[in-house]
Homo-oligomer: A and B are copies of this chain.
Amino acid sequence: MQNFIYYAPTEVVFGRDAESQAASMICKYGGTKVLLHYGGQSAVKSGLLARVEACLDAAGIAYVKLGGVRPNPRLSLVREGIEICRREGIDFLLAVGGGSVIDSCKAISSGCFYEGDVWTLYEHKDHATKYLPIGCVLTIPAAGSEMSGGSVITNDEHEQWLKKDYGADQLRCRFALMNPELTFTLPAWQTACGITDMIMHTLERYFSKDDDMEITDAIAEALIRSCMSEGRKVMENPRDYVARANIMWAGSLAHNDLTGCGTTGDWATHNIEHELSAKFDVSHGAGLAAVWGSWARYTRSENLPRFERFARNVMGVDTAGMSELEASEAGICAMEAFFRSLGMPTDIHSLIGREVLDEELEDMADKCTNSCTTTVGALKVLGKDDIVEIYRMAR
């Protein structure tokens, strides 16, 4: 097992009406002038934004609004946010939305006091030293960004978009207000993408060469099983409060590092997917579902017993009498079947609606490895050729 650091300081307020505590929590964590950051029309139409504004008004907290965050949040809007924060003397960021809005806040937080260009941080060429504090009202359980220190931003300033990540402990939300009722109106597609994403956050940590952290493995298995059982309920009845609550909390636990304590994460599937959503602007969750099975089949020989355990403990496969390879295949197929039951694609053609071209695969694999200068993954370390092969298997 690996040494580890576990640090999840976000104060989670979970339950009906949690958003009504926005003002008191901002005060608790020292905010006096807030950038209220959100996405498109849903927070406006649902009345949530107006409720949050009323809550801040009642407490006498000044704020500036910046909406328009889109899925795969864009660098251009981040720059606008940084400008506003500097100009207006903002001292606290409140994200009202899902992972994209929180990640956009994180980029603004990182860039606000940083003297260089914020994209430098996402290029992993420097580290910021001072950050604006962040809180959130979560509306889309998926990315787990409300308890994680990481963020992903898409550079939309060149012809070819680039999607890169940056993280720091100071980017962890001070608080996360989580009301499952706010997720009742999420479209089925977005709900399904979210469930897929949280399962994948757990799988990326679970498939490791470290087989001895039993408690972490058992928790990861419990988490994925719960995502599946509660996910089925949510897809059937989107207004099932308890199932929505379980899914919402699962999204946070799947990405606050709990399921990676003592193990080496892999994260190749995430890296391979990021190029898909950067190139085709597809949903992250759907992109993950499209390539995971191919990643699993390409890498499983590195630790077949683990894939066998996955089949048995997570997917409920009766592996008696099966070879490890057969068991692994049964487990992978069962996971893919679950993804499809959510309406997720499990190949790239279904994801983008046409056949992906050879030169596109090459180009994505090239970007994924920074022109063959880096590798991805840990269970099996993958170079450009490996990634091309996984894209081909998934095409």
Contact = CB atoms under 8 A, between A and B. Distances in A.
A15 B390 CA distance: 35
8 contacts: A1-B242, A5-B13, A215-B250, A218-B223, A219-B223, A219-B253, A221-B222, A222-B222
A187 to B, nearest CB: 23
Contacts of A242: 1, 212-213
Contacts of A13: 5
A215 B14 contact: no
A189 interface: no
A77 interface: no
Number of identical protomers: 2
Contacts of A40: none
Contact of A6 (B1, B12, B222): B12
Given A215-B249, A218-B225, 4 more contacts: A4-B15, A14-B261, A213-B245, A245-B262
B8 A8 contact: yes
A249 B213 CA distance: 10
A22 to B, nearest CB: 15
A46 to B, nearest CB: 20
A87 to B, nearest CB: 32
A374 interface: no
A245 B12 contact: no
A5 B12 contact: yes
Interface in A1-42: 1-9, 11-16, 18
